[in-house]
Structure 1
Amino acid sequence: MKYLQQFGIILAVSFVGELLNYAIPLSIPASIYGLVLMFVCLCMKWIKLEDVKETAVFLIEIMPLMFIPAAVGLITSWNIIRPKLLAYAAITVISTLLVMLVSGYVTDWMLKGEKKGEDK
């Protein structure tokens, strides 16, 4: 029952993200609204981490399974992808490097801020 309650909370936040996607005319995916909303709810302690942690960990553990339908979609679209494969590969490599670079700098910045807080 605990897992159903935790999953219900996650679904409710995701649903509100979907509603925000329809209400706010920006080209931001509903899942991003949901993630930001969940982050705000956790930071403001409206939702306690213990109220969603176990189900969230389970969903993260099975995340690779969620990529199987996307991979099958790529395989079935091979005739469309093939002529532009080099462009797709370049975009993938560049965006991956950019994400790694930005993530590293943000992590570094947060760790430095954490150390400054400990020094006070």
Structure 2
Amino acid sequence: MLKGIIVLLFFQFLGECIAKFFELLVPGPVIGMILLLLFLLVRKGSFISLDNAVALHLRYLPLLFIPAAMGIITQIDIITKEFWAIAIALFVGTIVALAFSAKFMDYLTIKGEKNEL
């Protein structure tokens, strides 16, 4: 499991370095996750210690929602003032994400059917 945690931290560090060096607006951990995804795609799979480390982290993931919930509670006056802007942004964002996901799945399905032939 230690190897898996080291791999996770390495990709997060690499993402942070890239974000700082190129002064990107994307957070370093997001870049690290993308690099980890590319690494796993090239490797064509994961390994046991990484799976164990991820499972350990996922077990405690709900704890990360507590600060978000407290932020909502403490900022309720701002949220009520900007309710319609937030609601419209959430609705439009959801529709765009669903449309993109559907088109991407169509693309992958067609590509998979061509590869089977």
Q: Same fold (TM over 0.5)?
A: yes
RMSD of equivalent CA atoms? 2.0
1:82 to 77, 80, 83: 80
Indicate the percent of aligned positions where both proteins have the same amino acid.
25
Q: Residue type of the partner of 2:46?
A: L
Secondary structure of the corresponding residue to residue 82 of structure 2? helix
TM-score for both structures, normalised by structure 2? 0.85
Secondary structure of the corresponding residue to residue 84 of structure 2? helix
Specify the alignment match of 1:42 in structure 2: 40
Distance 1:106 1:57 in 2: 27
TM-score for both structures, normalised by structure 1? 0.83
Structure 1, unmatched stretches of 5+, are none
Q: Residue type of the partner of 1:104?
A: A
Distance 2:115 2:53 in 1: 32
- Alpha-carbon deviation of 1:38? 0.6
- Alpha-carbon deviation of 1:31? 2.2
Secondary structure of the corresponding residue to residue 26 of structure 2? coil
Distance 1:23 1:60 in 2: 30
- Alpha-carbon deviation of 1:114? 0.9
Specify the alignment match of 2:93 in structure 1: 95
